[in-house]
C-alpha cells in the first residue's frame, strides 16, 4: 500500500514537473515568435520619419474622434521607395489620396498608440470624426464602416465613394491585421 502511495506521489510530482516544463517551453516559444515578428516588421515594414513641410490650406492639420478620445495633429505622410512614412507623434495624411472636402476618399493613418490611433478599435458606426484644415475650416464625418483587413490588401484602402475618409492603423495579435474605418462627410 505504501508503495502505491509513493508511486502515486512520484507520478503526481513528475506530472507537475512535466507541466511546468511544458509551460516554460510554451512561454519560450511565444517569446521567440514575438522577437521574430518584431524583426520581420522592422525589415519588411520599415518606415521613414515624416518630412517636415508646410502644408497648404487644403491639407488637414488635426483629427479628433470625441467618442473614443482620439485627438491628434496631422502632417503629410506617404510612401517613399516602397516604405511608409510614419510619425511617432502625429497622424498622417496620404497626399496621393483625395484632398479633404474635394469629393474624394482622403486617407489617414497612424500608429496604434494611446496618443494616436490607439482607441480606433473602440470606434462604432455613427461616431463622428472631426477634421480641421490649416485655415481652421472644420469637416465633420460620420462613421459607417469598421473592419479588420490583411495588411497586404492595400486595395481596400482605396474607394471610389465620394466625400469619405479612410482611417487605418495596426491591429490584431502582433499587428497581423490593419483596422480600417470609413466615414462619410456630413458637414463642412
Q: What are 63's strand-pairing partners?
A: 72, 131
How far, in Å, CA of 156 to CA of 163, rounded? 16
What does pLDDT average to over the chain? 81
Is the model's pLDDT at 5 over the cut of 70?
no
Residue 126: count of CB within 10 angstroms of its CB:
10
Q: What does each C-alpha distance from 31 to 57, 61, 176 come to in angstroms? A: 47, 39, 16
Per-residue three-class SS string for 11-66: HHHHHHHHHHHHHHHHHHHHHHHHHHHHHHHHHHCCEEECCCCCCCCCCEEEEEEH
Which conformational region is residue 10 in: left (phi greater than 0), alpha (psi within -120 to 50 degrees), or beta? alpha
For residue 44, the model assigns a pLDDT of: 44
Is the model's pLDDT at 52 over the cut of 90?
no
SS3 77: coil
Q: Under a CB-based contact definition with an 8 Å cutoff, are residues 50 and 90 in contact?
A: yes
For 121-180, write each residue's pLDDT tens digit: 999 999 999 999 988 999 999 999 999 888 777 777 778 788 999 999 988 777 778 999
Percent above pLDDT 70 for the chain: 74
Provide the grid cell at 26: 510554451
Greater pLDDT, 123 or 2: 123
Greater pLDDT, 95 or 44: 95
**Max Cα separation, the chain?**
89
Amino acid at each position: 500500500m505504501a508503495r502505491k502511495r509513493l508511486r502515486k506521489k512520484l507520478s503526481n510530482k513528475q506530472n507537475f514537473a512535466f507541466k511546468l516544463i511544458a509551460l516554460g517551453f510554451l512561454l519560450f516559444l511565444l517569446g521567440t515568435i514575438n522577437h521574430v515578428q518584431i524583426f520581420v516588421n522592422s525589415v519588411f515594414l520599415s518606415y521613414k520619419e515624416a518630412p517636415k513641410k508646410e502644408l497648404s490650406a487644403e491639407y488637414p492639420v488635426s483629427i479628433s474622434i470625441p467618442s473614443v478620445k482620439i485627438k491628434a495633429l496631422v502632417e503629410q505622410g506617404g510612401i517613399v521607395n516602397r516604405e511608409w512614412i510614419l510619425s511617432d507623434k502625429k497622424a498622417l495624411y496620404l497626399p496621393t489620396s483625395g484632398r479633404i472636402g474635394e469629393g474624394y476618399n482622403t486617407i489617414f493613418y497612424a500608429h496604434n498608440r494611446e496618443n494616436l490611433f490607439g482607441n480606433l478599435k473602440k470606434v462604432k458606426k455613427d461616431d463622428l470624426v472631426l477634421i480641421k484644415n490649416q485655415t481652421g475650416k472644420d469637416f465633420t464625418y460620420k462613421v459607417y464602416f469598421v473592419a479588420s483587413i490583411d495588411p497586404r490588401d492595400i486595395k481596400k484602402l482605396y474607394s471610389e465613394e465620394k466625400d469619405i475618409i479612410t482611417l487605418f492603423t495596426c491591429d490584431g495579435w502582433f499587428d497581423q491585421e490593419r483596422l480600417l474605418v470609413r466615414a462619410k462627410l456630413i458637414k463642412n
